Amino acid sequence: MSGLVEASNAARVVGVLYFALAIAVLSQIIRICLYRHNLLSFQSGFLVLTFSWSAIRSCAFLFNYEPTGASYFFKWLPVSLELATFLLLAMFCAYLVERGDWEKTRCAAEMQ
């Protein structure tokens, strides 16, 4: 037995929506690379995390596996990626509020 279980129609629809989100985010990542924008930016980090999250979620919904270690990995890994995305958002908000101190700290670290 291959370990696959028949997915419901609702799971298929949600999986296709997550897949569409992954394609949209991937197109944004490709645009950033083509136009040679800064790859070490908040936007790039957010897009990479979002692409990873949506790709794993689409696989989890489209290919419904029997409960094994790998299936639990694909079901719970997106939760960690969500946390990383929200932490990046909080860090970006702190950057906007404390931009002056952020630049001073970064320049002081570069001087050492």
More confident residue, 21 or 5: 21
The DSSP symbol for 65 reads: B
Dihedral sign, Cα of residue 109, residue 40, residue 74, residue 21 = positive
In the chain the first and final C-alpha atoms are separated, in Å, by 60
Measuring CA to CA, which residue among 50, 65, 53, 48 is closest to residue 11? 65
Q: Assess whether pLDDT exceeds 80 at residue 37.
A: yes
Band of pLDDT at residue 1, cut at 50, 70 and 90? very low
Rounded CA separation 106/109 (Å): 5
The DSSP symbol for 6 reads: P
41-89 pLDDT, tens digit per residue, is 999 999 999 999 999 999 888 877 777 777 777 778 889 999 999 999 9
Q: Assess whether pLDDT exceeds 80 at residue 103.
A: no
Q: Which residue has the tokens 């908000």?
A: 93
Dihedral sign, Cα of residue 36, residue 38, residue 40, residue 44 = negative
Q: Which residue has the tokens 């001073």?
A: 104
